[in-house]
Amino acid sequence: MTTTRRAFGALAAGAAITALAPAASASAHAGRHGRLIARDDFRRGLGQWAVELQDGGTVTAARGVLEVDVPSGATIWFKRRLQGPYVIEYTAMPVAAGGVNDRVSDLNNFWNALDVRSPDDLFATPRGGALAEYDYLKTYYVGYGANTNTTTRLRRYVGEAGVRPLIYDYTEPLLVPNKPHRVRIVSAGSTVRWWNNGRLVFDYSDPEPYTSGHFAFRTTWSHFRITDFSVRELRLPIIPG
């Protein structure tokens, strides 16, 4: 996988103090939640989602659970385009029960994504689930517990093949098998934040922010059960990190 810091070396260096101390309390950095923008209780199928699979697998939404059980790359897009400021929340459990895909790896997200090949319609450009096909996105991307649960990273894609600028690169926190991970994502102008179970994992100030676009669950060779997805308006101001 090609990684570059081109055009972002100075930004990453300027954020070095934050990178050295990723942990913080969610309550200390959150804005106030406003009206409900969207939600899915996963009881009515995949009507709100578009699924892109590299090599097949199973993605279902029933009985309150989005079940993702895949042998390779999978991206599950929320069809509605979102405009910030907003906060996304959901709960994901990495399944480790002896199944062929129960690898415990890659709780990943795209958000504020657009495809530079069809910027007005993300779904006008076909993609097949392999990670390299997403290089043409402009988007934020978190890979939490990626690379067989050894790395946790924030990237800012810029829509160029082979270019996935790396903002933060940690070796912890990581996924805990068979335990719920409550994720919160904040998009508020230049403020980009990603929490897991109340811990502020990424806190990034983007001088050229992506403020609207699509959200997706992304994983590869893994098995997750996802519940309680919601998007709410975020009322400003946001308390500085």
61 closest CA partner among 78, 82, 85: 78
pLDDT higher than threshold 70 for residue 80:
yes
pLDDT higher than threshold 70 for residue 124:
yes
- Model pTM greater than 0.95? no
**CATH fold for the domain made of 9-235:** Jelly Rolls (2.60.120)
User: How does residue 240 score in pLDDT terms, banded at 50, 70 and 90?
Assistant: low
Domain-by-domain residue ranges, the chain? 9-235
Amino acid at 33: H
CA distances, 136 to each of 15, 126, 139, 209 (Å)? 26, 12, 9, 17
For the chain, the residue count is 241
Q: Determine the pLDDT at residue 95.
A: 98
Q: Determine the pLDDT at residue 79.
A: 98
Q: Retrieve residue 52's tokens.
A: 């892109």
Q: Are the C-beta atoms of 145 and 171 separated by less than 8 Å?
A: no
pLDDT higher than threshold 60 for residue 101:
yes
pLDDT higher than threshold 60 for residue 2:
no
pLDDT higher than threshold 60 for residue 196:
yes
Helix (H) or strand (E) holding 148: helix 146-149
pLDDT higher than threshold 80 for residue 63:
yes
pLDDT higher than threshold 60 for residue 26:
no
User: How does residue 235 score in pLDDT terms, banded at 50, 70 and 90?
Assistant: confident
